[in-house]
Amino acid sequence: MPPALGPWPSSCSTCAAWSGSSAPPWSASPARPSAAPSARCPRASRGPRRALPITPPRRTPMEIAPDLVRRLKRLRLGGLVPTLPDRATHARQAKLSPVEFLELLLQDEIDRRDSQGLARRVEAASFDEVVTYEQLVWDTPVSYDRARVRELFALHWLAAKENVIFCGPVGVGKSWFAQALGHSACRAGHRVRYTKVAKLLQALHASRADNSFERELRGWLAWDLLLLDDFGLRQLTAQQSSDLYDVLVERDRRSATVITSNRAVEEWVALFDDPILANSALDRFAHRAHQIVMEGPSLRAARAPSPAKSRRPSNSAPEGG
C-alpha cells in the first residue's frame, strides 16, 4: 500500500492542527516522512492575506420583456416603452416605492398624451401663425386695456360661451391676440378653428354648388371657438350677408366666437346687404361680446427685416397683426 500522509511542517501555523507523530486515524500505513527543516509551507511565506476589492457587476441597460411590451400596447400604453428603462433606473437610484414608480409612469403617459393632443388641436385650428401667450409683447406704443386683455386669457368667457371683438387699425396686434387666445383654448382642450372671414364666406358659397351647404355650415358650428379674422374689408353681398347671419346666430349661446376688424362695431351694420339681418345678428353677437379697442401705430414696420439682416423669421412674436 502507498505510504501514509505525514504531518505538515510545524512552520505552517495554518496547518499545525493537522501535525502529529502518528498517522491519521483513517490510514493504517506507516507515517509519511516529514519534509526537510528548511522547507517552508508555500502559504506561510506569503504573510497575511489581503481582501481583494469587490468589483460590482457591470449593469446593462434594462431590457423590456416582449410580453410586457405586448401588454402595454394592449392597454394602449405603448408610449411608456421608450422611456421605461430610464424611468426604472431612476426609480432604483432614487429608491422609489412601487406606488411612486407607478405614479411616475402614469404622469409620463398623461404628459405625452396631453402633448400629442395639443399638437393635433393646434394643427386642426389652421392658425395663420401659431402665437402663444408667452410670445406676446405687451410693451408697445399701441393703446388698449391691457388688464382686460390679460384677463381674457383666463378663458372665463369661453366657458360662458361669450364672444370677443378686437377693433383697431391695421397692424396693431388684433390677429396676434386673437390667435394667442385660440392657442390658449387649444391648451385647455377646446376645439378651435381660425379663418379669414372671406375664406369662410367662400367655403359656404362653394358648398351650395354641390348641395352640401348644410353640412358645411354644421362644420363651422361645431367648433368650441371660431376665430373670424379681418371682418369688414369688403361690402357683403346679399348671399354673404345671409350666410354670415346663419353662422353668428346659430353659434349664439352655443359656442364662442372671436372677430377682428379694422372697423368699429357701429360701422358693421352698413356692411350687410340687409340691415334687418345685420341688426338681428350683430345685436346678439355684440351684446355678449368683450370689446377691445386698439389704437396706435402699426407694429409691422418694426417687425419687417432690414436689408442688412437675415430675412429668416425671428422666434419672438410682437403683438402686431
Mark whether 205 and 171 lie in a shared domain.
Answer: yes
Domain extent for 248: 133-303
pLDDT of residue 255: 97
Of the residues 81, 102, 123, which one is the last residue of a structural domain? 123
Mark whether 70 and 214 lie in a shared domain.
Answer: no
Is 282 a member of any domain?
A: yes
pLDDT of residue 55: 56
pTM of the model: 0.71
Mark whether 158 and 237 lie in a shared domain.
Answer: yes
User: How far is the C-alpha of 65 from the C-alpha of 76, rounded, in Å?
Assistant: 17
Total number of domains constituting the chain: 2
Mark whether 230 and 199 lie in a shared domain.
Answer: yes
Mark whether 84 and 153 lie in a shared domain.
Answer: no
Mark whether 98 and 181 lie in a shared domain.
Answer: no
Mark whether 177 and 116 lie in a shared domain.
Answer: no
Is 297 a member of any domain?
A: yes
pLDDT of residue 64: 79
Exposed e or buried b for every residue in 125-138, given b needs 16+ CB within 10 A?
bebbebbeeebbee
Is 259 a member of any domain?
A: yes
Question: How far apart, in Å, are the Cα atoms of 304 and each of 141, 172, 295, 309, 317?
Answer: 17, 14, 20, 10, 12
Is 222 a member of any domain?
A: yes
Please give the full DSSP string across 84-118, using - where no structure is assigned: HHHHHHHHHHHT--HHHHHHHHHHHHHHHHHHHHH
In the chain (321 residues long), the average pLDDT of successive 10-residue segments reads 48 42 44 50 54 53 80 89 88 91 91 95 97 95 97 98 97 96 98 98 96 96 98 95 96 97 95 94 94 93 53 39 52
Sequence letter at residue 144: Y
Is 145 a member of any domain?
A: yes
Mark whether 168 and 72 lie in a shared domain.
Answer: no
Is 24 a member of any domain?
A: no
User: How far is the C-alpha of 163 from the C-alpha of 259, rounded, in Å?
Assistant: 8
pLDDT of residue 252: 96
3-state secondary structure of 268: coil
Mark whether 110 and 208 lie in a shared domain.
Answer: no
Is 309 a member of any domain?
A: no
pLDDT of residue 63: 74
Residue 321 near residue 128 (C-beta atoms within 8 A): no
Mark whether 164 and 296 lie in a shared domain.
Answer: yes
CATH no. for residue 202? Answer: 3.40.50.300
pLDDT of residue 50: 62
Of the residues 123, 141, 167, which one is the last residue of a structural domain? 123
Mark whether 228 and 102 lie in a shared domain.
Answer: no
Mark whether 197 and 173 lie in a shared domain.
Answer: yes
Is 256 a member of any domain?
A: yes
